[in-house]
Structure 1
Amino acid sequence: MTDAYYELVDADDPLGERFSASDHVISTWSADMQNAAPVSALLVRALERYAPRPDTRLSRVVVDLLGPVPVTDQLWVRAHLRRPGAKIELLDAEMLAPGPDGAPRPVAVASAWRFGHHDTDELFFTPEAPLRPLAEGRPRFPDDDVNQATNQTYIQSLDWRWLNDILNSIPAECWARPLVDLVVGEPLTPMQRLFTVADIANGMGSRLSVGEWLFLNTDLVVHIHRVPEGDWVGVRAETHYGSDGVGVSRGTLFDALGSVAVLQQAQLVRRRLVIP
C-alpha cells in the first residue's frame, strides 16, 4: 500500500489521467466504496491543473457523487472549460470507473468557478468565530463504535485533534490533516489539502451511531473565500435532519488564521437493517 490515496498510472490515457486507488480511500460504509474526501480532492486536482492561470483561483466547488465510487486500479479523471472568461471561468471535471459491464462510466463530477485575482485586502473580514487552537485538541480515533481499529479506511488516513465530542456535540469541532499524499510523489496544494478533509463534516454532530444508521452524502458544496494556509484544516459542523430520511450537514472550514470556507452536504439517512 502506498503512502497516498492514489497513484498516477497513465497520464496520457485517452479517457483522462488514469489512477489506481489505495486502501486509504476506503469508506466507513463499505470496503468496496471510496470516501468522498479523496474523490473530491482528486477532482479538485484536475480542476486546478486544467489550463492553469496564476492570476486566478477556485472560488466555489460542487462535487456530485453519481453512485458508489469503487476502490479500483482503473479510475480516469479529466477536466474541461465550460465557460471561458477573462475574469470568471466555469470548469468541469469528472471521474470515471468501470461499470457492471466493464465499460468506463462517470461516478463523480465536479464544477468550479474560477475567479481572477483582485486586491481587496482592505476588506479582509469574516464574522465567524475562530476555532480553539490546535493545541487544545486531543488525538482521537473516531470510529470505535464500529470496531474498525484494525481495518484500514479513510478515517485512519487522517491525524485528528478533537476539540469536543465530534459525533454528538452541536456544533462539532475538530482539526485534521492527511497523513498521506493525494497522489504518489506530488505535494498537496492548499486546495487539495482542504478537500482531503472537508467531507468529514458529513456526520459531525450527527448524534447517530454508524452501527445503527447510514447517513451517506451525495454531494459536497464548498465556497472558499480565502486560500487556506498550513497543514491543518479545522472543521466546525452540525447536522440537520428532516422526518423523512433527508438530512443536511453544514459547516465552516478553518486554518490557524481563521475561517476559509463554508460548506453544505445533502444526506440520505437510513436505519440499518438488523438481522436477528
Structure 2
Amino acid sequence: MPAYFERIDASAFRPTSAVEGAWSTEEQHIAPSLGLIAHAIETEHAERRGRDLQLGRISYDILGTIPIERVDLDIRILRPGRTIELVEAVLSHEGRAAVIARAWLMQVADTAALAGSSLPAMPGRHELEPWSAGEIWQGRHVRTVDMHRRQVEPGRAWAWLRPQLPLLEGEEISPTARLLGLVDIANGLTPRMAPAEVAFPNVDLTCHLVAVPTGEWIGFDTTVTVGPAGLGLTDTVLHDDRGADGVVPLGTVQQILTVRPIRG
C-alpha cells in the first residue's frame, strides 16, 4: 500500500504524490509533514529513553511552502528532564527550514478517576453524511482521507476523518502521530469564504492533547473566525469514538490564518 512518505535514511524522507497540496498541486499539503515531525520526535524519544514520556503539546510554525521533494528532519532537546522535556524539530528542504516544531513531552500518570470535561460532545460518525473535500479543494491529498461532515453554516461544522494511507512506508506509527498527520485539514473543513476568491492559509498549528486517540476515526468540532483586518482563526475540539459517547475529548487545535482576498 502506498504511503505519504518513504524513508531515505535516519533523517531524510521522500514524499509521494499522495501529499499533493490543496492550495497548489505543486506543493505539499502540510498535514502529513506535521505527522511525520511528530513521528520523528516520538522515535527519537523512544530510542533515547524508551517512551516513558508522552506528547502533551506540539506547536508548529510553518515558514513556507514545500515542493513535493525530499525533506530532512533535525531534532534537539531544548529542556531535558526526568518528568518533562521540551523538544524542537526542524523540517527543511534543500537547507531551508520549512517547519519548526516544539513539543512538550510529559510524564504518564493514572488520572482515570479524575477524567472529565465541560466541552460539549459532538455527533457520532454515523449521524453525519459522507463528504469529499474534493468538492471545494484541489490536490490528491484531500482525496486520500475518508470524511463525514455536517456543516451548520460556512465556518461551523462537525466532521469525522480517517486517512486511507499510512503516514510512512513500512513503519509503525503511534495513534498520536497519526492524529497529528490529519489535524491541519481542519482549516479546510468548513471555509467561510470560497478558496477561489479568498486565500486563508494557516501559518501555525498548535495541538494540546489530554488523551491518546483510539480507533481509526478522529472527530473535528470546528469553528472558523475571520477578523476585520486580515487575520483569522480556525479552532477545533478533537474527539475519538469515546468522545462521541460523552467521554473526555482528545484535545484542541488552533490555527492562525492570514486572510487575503484574491484580486482577479
* Number of the residue aligned with 1:92: 88
Q: Do the aligned partners of 2:221 and 2:238 also contact (CA within 8 Å) in 1?
A: yes
Cα distance 1:67–1:263, how it changes in 2: closer, same or farther (>3 A)?
A: same
Question: What TM-score comes out, normalization by structure 2 length?
Answer: 0.92
Residue of 188, 193, 198 corresponding to 2:178: 193
Residue of 56, 59, 72 corresponding to 2:56: 59
Q: Distance in 2 between matches of 1:109 and 1:202?
A: 19
1:35-80: per-residue Cα shift (whole Å, max 9, x none)?
22111101101111113233210000001111112211x2111212
Contiguous gaps of at least 5 residues in structure 1: 12-16, 99-103
Q: Distance in 2 between matches of 1:123 and 1:145?
A: 42
Alignment of 1:99-248 (within 5 A): 104-145=95-136, 148=138, 152-162=139-149, 164-165=150-151, 168-169=153-154, 171-248=156-233
Q: Distance in 2 between matches of 1:251 and 1:237?
A: 4
Residue of 27, 30, 35 corresponding to 1:33: 27
Q: Distance in 1 between matches of 2:135 and 2:198?
A: 15
Letter in 2 for 1:177: R
Cα distance 1:23–1:213, how it changes in 2: closer, same or farther (>3 A)?
A: same
1:96-119: per-residue Cα shift (whole Å, max 9, x none)?
102xxxxx1211111000001122
Q: Distance in 2 between matches of 1:207 and 1:241?
A: 8
* Number of the residue aligned with 1:4: 3
Task: Please tell me whether residue 45 in structure 1 is matched to residue 36 in structure 2.
Answer: no
* Number of the residue aligned with 2:257: 267
Q: Percent identity?
A: 30
Letter in 2 for 1:186: E
Q: Do the aligned partners of 1:203 and 1:249 also contact (CA within 8 Å) in 2?
A: no
How many positions carry a matched residue from both structures? 256
Instruction: Report which of the two has the higher share of helix.
Output: 2
Q: Distance in 1 between matches of 2:257 and 2:222?
A: 14
Deviation at 1:140, TM superposition (A): 1.2
Q: Do the aligned partners of 2:155 and 2:225 also contact (CA within 8 Å) in 1?
A: no
Deviation at 1:137, TM superposition (A): 2.1
Q: Do the aligned partners of 1:204 and 1:239 also contact (CA within 8 Å) in 2?
A: no
1:192-240: per-residue Cα shift (whole Å, max 9, x none)?
1111211122143332111111110011100001111111111011111
Give the root-mean-square deviation of aligned CA atoms: 1.6
